[in-house]
Amino acid sequence: MATEKKTQLYFRDAGSFEFIKRPLKYSCMVQEENGQLIRAWKHFYSNQIPFAGYKNISADTVTLGFARDIILDPFNKVPTGLLPSEKPTKTDTGIKKWISQVAENQRHTYRTQIKSSFKEDAINWALIGTLILMMIGWLIRYATG
Amino acid sequence: MQRDDVMKKEVETPIAALPAVKKRYTKRAFYIAIGALAAIAGIGLFAIYFFTMNMVFGGMGVVLFFSGGFTFYYFWNKDDSTGFVIESLGAPPKEQVNSLCIYEHVVKFDNIANPEGWPSTCHNDNKKYYVYIWDKVTEKLIPFILPDQQYYEPEVFAQRVLALPAHRKLFTRKPKLFQKLKTAMLVLAIAIVMLLILTTTGGS
């Protein structure tokens, strides 16, 4: 299954910005390197803003994000609460409780996942392809004598 | 105030209420078609090899099948572009503009007369733009400043909360014996078919 991507209007630490396509995983926009999660920003549908496109940047709904935080909601569109589908209150307890809810969700996600390696799958599919080709060739050859 | 009214006020341009239109022919579709054709041509060449036993056809068939298959697989899964032109937002500006404006219901590049603040670099085109945000209180565009109050670090959130390295190891299902032996069984099947080919066709 293809990894779904959405556009993030990402502000770097120095204040410069870029429109960048990020994969969506675990309800977050993520930055990955060699299959490892490096950074992640919470993605909310209610916090997306349409963007018409400009020069080589394609049109999409964009989510604002920046280097220092997982949520950037300047218009307060996301409701506040303790559920992972809400944003936490900006208090120590609120954030801790919200983070523990997200982590609990992840535990359940990992429990249901089956380990699968892309490399192993690619080798197996290449072998299956070779086998099918050999069978087709052999059948043609055998049938035509 | 209704959402449309707010949007109208924010953008101050007439909204052409046209539906989003999907682009039919993209670069991705072209490569998917090329990949599929190459893979099919590979099968054809491999079939010719079995009639002629000419290694050139066999080699070319295998190369075409796998390279075509890989191209097909890669571009099938690559979905970088939304492929949509959002016409309801109006056409994006074609000329160079000086600002990026963030409204509650739209983000757009625009020209602002007498811009204030300090321009920021946009890494997509390496040009500098003034960044503005719509202030709901004053109903004006004001220079955009990132907040200093923080929820959580994106690095820590990704690596500690989402990745949960210890738990992941603990909860990962162990593969069954059949899953472990899948690759070995396929190699064995290939060897058997190869033997079958050699014995039934006399190796010719």
Of B46, B66, B89, the CB nearest to A52: B89
- pTM here is 0.62
Query: For the residues of B4-50, what is the DSSP string, one character each?
Result: HHHHHHHH-S----PPPEE-SS-HHHHHHHHHHHHHHHHHHHHHHHH
pLDDT score for B21: 46
Cβ B167–A107 below 8 Å, yes or no?
yes
Q: Mean pLDDT of successive 10-residue segments in chain B (204 residues)? A: 53 41 66 91 86 80 89 78 57 88 92 90 93 92 91 91 76 68 85 81 60
Residue A27 shares a structural domain with residue A44: yes
pLDDT score for B141: 93
Q: Which residues of A touch B79 (CB under 8 A)?
A: 2-5
Cβ B92–A54 below 8 Å, yes or no?
yes
Does this complex have an ipTM over 0.85? no
Residue A66 shares a structural domain with residue A92: no
Residue A50 shares a structural domain with residue A69: yes
Give the A:B interface size as CB pairs under 8 Å.
Answer: 226
* Band of residue A23 on the pLDDT scale cut at 50, 70, 90: very high
B27-78 residue pLDDT tens: 778 889 999 999 999 988 888 887 887 778 888 888 899 899 989 988 887 7
Rounded to a whole number of angstroms, the distance from the CA of B113 to the nearest CA of chain A is: 19
Position with higher pLDDT, A9 vs A118: A9
Which of A134, A136, A140 is the mutation pick for testing B, counting most B CBs within 10 A? A134
Of A51, A126, A131, the CB nearest to B66: A126
Expressed as residue numbers, the domain containing A55 is 1-78
Residue A28 shares a structural domain with residue A91: no
Q: State the average pLDDT for chain A.
A: 86
> Can you tell me the distance from the alpha carbon of B120 to that of A17, in angstroms, rounded to the nearest whole number?
7
Query: For the residues of chain B, what is the DSSP string, one character each?
Result: --HHHHHHHHH-S----PPPEE-SS-HHHHHHHHHHHHHHHHHHHHHHHHHH--HHHHHHHHHHHHHHHHHHHHHHH------EE-GGG-PPP-S--SEEEE-SS-EEEE--SS--S--EEETTTTEEEEEEEEETTTTEEEE----S--S--HHHIIIIIIS-HHHHHHHPPPPPHHHHHHHHHHHHHHHHHHHHHHHHHTT-
> Can you tell me the distance from the alpha carbon of B92 to that of A24, in angstroms, rounded to the nearest whole number?
26
Residue A10 shares a structural domain with residue A60: yes
CB of B85 within 8 Å of any CB in chain A? Answer: yes
H or E element, residue A21: strand A17-25
Rounded to a whole number of angstroms, the distance from the CA of A109 to the nearest CA of chain B is: 10
Of B50, B91, B194, the CB nearest to A141: B50
pLDDT score for A77: 93
Provide the token pair at B66.
């796998």
A109-137 residue pLDDT tens: 877 765 555 566 778 888 888 888 888 87
Of B69, B123, B146, the CB nearest to A18: B123
Nearest CA in chain B to A14: B120
pLDDT score for B19: 41
Residue A67 shares a structural domain with residue A1: yes
Instruction: Check if the beta carbon of residue B32 is closer than 8 Å to that of residue B69.
Output: no
pLDDT score for A52: 86
Residue A107 shares a structural domain with residue A62: no
Residue A140, helix vs strand vs coil: helix
- Minimum mean pLDDT among A35-49, A92-106, B79-93, B113-127: which range? B79-93
pLDDT score for B80: 56
Nearest CA in chain A to B66: A126
**Mean predicted confidence (pLDDT) in A59-85:** 91
Going from the C-alpha of A4 to that of each of A9, A30, A57, A63, the distances in angstroms are 17, 11, 18, 14
> Can you tell me the distance from the alpha carbon of B58 to that of B49, in angstroms, rounded to the nearest whole number?
5
Residue A132 shares a structural domain with residue A65: no
**Mean predicted confidence (pLDDT) in A3-26:** 91
**Mean predicted confidence (pLDDT) in A75-101:** 90
Of A40, A103, A135, the CB nearest to B158: A40
Residue A60 shares a structural domain with residue A105: no
**Number of separate domains in chain A:** 3
Residue A102 shares a structural domain with residue A39: no
Q: What is chain B's Cα-based Rg?
A: 29
Residue A72 shares a structural domain with residue A1: yes
- Minimum mean pLDDT among A44-48, A103-107, B6-10, B127-131: which range? B6-10
Residue A108 shares a structural domain with residue A122: no
